[in-house]
Structure 1
Amino acid sequence: MRTTSAAGTARAAAGALAALLVLSGCSAKAGDGGAGERATGGVRTGKGISGGTIELGLLTDMTGVYATLGKSVTQSQQLYFEQLNADGGVCGHKISLTVRDHGYDPQRAVAAYTELEPEVLGFPQFLGSPFVAAVEQRVEDRDKALVLPQAWAHSLLGSPYIRVIGSTYDVETINAIDFLMKEEGIAAGDKVGHVYFEGDYGESAVEGSRHMAREAGLTLVEQKIKPTDNDMTAQVAALKKAGVKAVVISAGPRQAASLVGVAAAGGFDVPVIGNNSAFSPQLLATQAGPALMRNYYVASPSLPIGADTDRAKQLVADYKAAYPEDSLDNGVVAGWTAAGVFTEALKEACAAKDLTREGVGEALLSLDAFDNGFGVRQDFSDPEVPTSRESVVLKPDKAVTGGMRVVREPTASEAARAYTPPEA
């Protein structure tokens, strides 16, 4: 179970952000998610569909702590829907995207959702667990617009309209520590450090560490930080003094680079593994690059952009052609996957002749084996559990496309398979 303090932190953060909805002038009435429903060619439609166009919203971070990720996810989705439109769109409709950059700022994120919600069918991207949590109750009770977060907190499970794609942070962390135990010699009785952001992301990830500590007889040494904390010198000193044998980090790329770089400079030679949000290949060109390639791993919900698959190779070629000046990273895969999931839901809803918000949400429940060619099959039939319990373990490598090579293929550890996420 989540500790009292963690639950209080998460509830307080979500509650404070949710309150902003009122201040932002929310006036939708309960149950109006399909307001203005009408039949078009025998298919029911509602909000976000008119004149042969399906309007979708992208709520992202292109100027804040996750700017690199947000840019890659957004450009990947723009490319996906451009190709989809060129192939005829969905159900006789073309897709139109509206992008809002919230800069990882809570007020801007909630305001952007409030602005776009009346105009769109749904959101193939909403980056940031705390911001999605802030609108979760409204989405489920009245808006009923499908939201695919670029966030993996287990607290987002349970809604038929907010659907996390892949293993949640707690499951991902369980698989990460399983890797450390099987491949890096961590054993019962050892101390493992965990540096994590306050809020839904970090609290979800540390649940996985706490679970593995109980199950495997480890001692967990926790270091909670803020997204504005960029220098990990104090955290490294504390972990070194505690005698940890490995470190998990659930933060941003800057914090991961600082932690690994400071540890290497101080002779603290232990393996470090981060959640999927804790790496950017641009870091390999910094002073921390050599240390990252030596001691750092990343747990991911899918194979990387540089994977040896036909789909990955095609996406690399298409993305390079569309954005020749931009680097490739796993945000491209995440964005492409979410766009594919949303599109499949739209196609299923069209086949059922119900392209209302409720119809699209219902259609997604029928996808129980979605696979876009990046190694992990997703099952959306049960909103209460992660769509997958598998994780891929990657290692930074500047010689590889996208800067990440696979060191462990998609795997669900025994602990991850048996784990039940705590209720939010």
Structure 2
Amino acid sequence: MNHRRPAVRGLAAALAALVALTAAGCSSKAKTEGSDAAGKGGVKAGEGVTDSTISIGALTDMTGVYATLGKSITQAQQLYVKQANAAGGICGRKLELTVRDHGYDPQKALAAYTELEPKVVGYAQFIGSPFVAAAKQRIDAQDKVLVLPQAWSASLLGSPYIRVLGSTYDVETINAVDFLVAEKGLKKGDKVGHVYFEGDYGENALTGSKYAAGKAGLTVVEQKIKPTDSDMSAQVAALKQAGVKAVVISAGPKQAASLVGVAAATGLKVPVIGNNSAFSPQLLGTPAGPALEQMYWVASPSLPIGADTPVAKKLVADYQAAYPKDSLDNGIVAGWTAVTVFGEALKKACEAKDLTREGVDKALLSLTAHDAGFGMKHDFADPKAPSSKESAILQPDKSLPGGMRTVREPFVSEAAKGFTPKAG
């Protein structure tokens, strides 16, 4: 079922037109520079790969809606590159991470993608489901470049080159609603509010909440917002009047903090659960902090940065040593997971003596049980499916590293088991 509104379709059309324009401006020279001939070590190489370097792109948001998470994701990936190079690199080559900040602006995002595309073997970061979706046709038909986005929309599934790390927003939201029913008293006949961003992220999460509501006998009360909306007072008032017993939020950290803070202040004291990108621990230092610790949960595609695993403990120590002035959050986990997956694909491609884009993508297909060290295994064999359907449920806790604790270990709800995300 298509839940998009005319305004959303208009945004998608505008983004698609922008992609066409940027594609038209691409240099054909760049496509001929990668010879695919055997180079150092008898390894074939293409765009972004020389005998001495492997260049990887990162399209991030350090100044927009997801600035805090974008910084953490990027620094985690820079840390991986530094450590990998200190250990000799990959395939006898040093890694280079080229970063562009798009500030969650569609024109900047697609311009940055176009600029880097001829220069990199792939992207270990691309924040923004709408922007990745807008570039999807070009990626699939023309560039054929591996993209591991920090975006979880089901519209990205089905691409041979864009690979979703963890459960898509629809599956994640189904698991989130299951948590509300199983552990927070939501029952048949109740209303559940859903506040969501317009566009691929929010619309895909809404698909999940409606599916889960149908299975549990609930009614969804919708509240659509824009990424530029920051005050959730009107949405809280509408949900309170509707008599909701719980709320799902598929937006950014600021919107989640406003929603929970206003709800607590106005007497709408119901459980609120967000998708994985709807929280940052810096919020615990704001006036909304106490309410977040009491009323808010997050569905996550991994255990938190403060998890009791060897990888998590080492990453915390290494990250704090590298960035002593910066706080910990789950953006570090997302960035680390993506770049380690990319690194493993490069290693497999090296073994096959093929570091072309085609070779790296083929290598990724062979990763069927990749464990990034945060509680979940990822299977990349099927491009039409997310790498996992599991979600962990986390709760804000300022006493812990990263400000999150695990209240439900990774699981797949019965409703999610029977749900097939609709690929784009």
TM over 0.5: yes
**Distance in structure 1 (CA, Å) of the matches to 2:88 and 2:125:** 22
Counterpart in the other structure of 2:36: 37
On the 8 A contact 1:32/1:142 being kept in 2, the answer is: no
The letter for the 2-side match of 1:20 is L
Question: Which aligned segments of 4 or more residues in structure 1 are displaced greater than 2 angstroms?
Answer: 8-15, 21-36
**Distance in structure 2 (CA, Å) of the matches to 1:276 and 1:219:** 23
**1:31-62: CA deviation from partner (whole Å, max 9, x where unpaired):** 95994222112111011012410011110000
Structure 2 unaligned runs (5+)?
A: none
On the 8 A contact 2:275/2:298 being kept in 1, the answer is: yes
**Distance in structure 2 (CA, Å) of the matches to 1:218 and 1:327:** 38
Further displaced range: 339-348 or 414-423: 414-423
**1:101-157: CA deviation from partner (whole Å, max 9, x where unpaired):** 000000000000000001111100001001111111111111111101010001000
Q: CA deviation at 1:215?
A: 1.3
**Distance in structure 2 (CA, Å) of the matches to 1:18 and 1:35:** 27
Identical-pair percentage: 68
Q: CA deviation at 1:20?
A: 1.5
Counterpart in the other structure of 2:221: 221
Further displaced range: 134-143 or 283-292: 134-143
Q: Superposition pairs for residues 4-403 of structure 1, below 5 Å? A: 5-6=4-5, 11-24=9-22, 25-27=24-26, 32=31, 35-40=34-39, 41-403=41-403
**1:4-26: CA deviation from partner (whole Å, max 9, x where unpaired):** x35x6555433321322343353
Distance 1:371 1:223, change over 3 A: same
Distance 1:30 1:366, change over 3 A: farther
The letter for the 2-side match of 1:292 is L
The letter for the 2-side match of 1:268 is L
Distance 1:307 1:136, change over 3 A: same
The number of aligned residues is 422
On the 8 A contact 2:57/2:125 being kept in 1, the answer is: yes
Structure 1 unaligned runs (5+)?
A: none
On the 8 A contact 1:292/1:396 being kept in 2, the answer is: yes
On the 8 A contact 1:106/1:131 being kept in 2, the answer is: yes
The letter for the 2-side match of 1:37 is D
On the 8 A contact 1:29/1:142 being kept in 2, the answer is: no
RMSD: 1.6
Q: CA deviation at 1:213?
A: 1.4
On the 8 A contact 2:384/2:423 being kept in 1, the answer is: no
For the residue of structure 2 that corresponds to 1:163, the secondary structure is coil
On the 8 A contact 1:72/1:331 being kept in 2, the answer is: yes
Q: CA deviation at 1:214?
A: 1.3
**Distance in structure 1 (CA, Å) of the matches to 2:190 and 2:30:** 52
**Distance in structure 2 (CA, Å) of the matches to 1:188 and 1:379:** 35
**Distance in structure 2 (CA, Å) of the matches to 1:163 and 1:354:** 20
The letter for the 2-side match of 1:106 is P
Distance 1:213 1:120, change over 3 A: same
TM-score under structure 2 length normalisation: 0.97
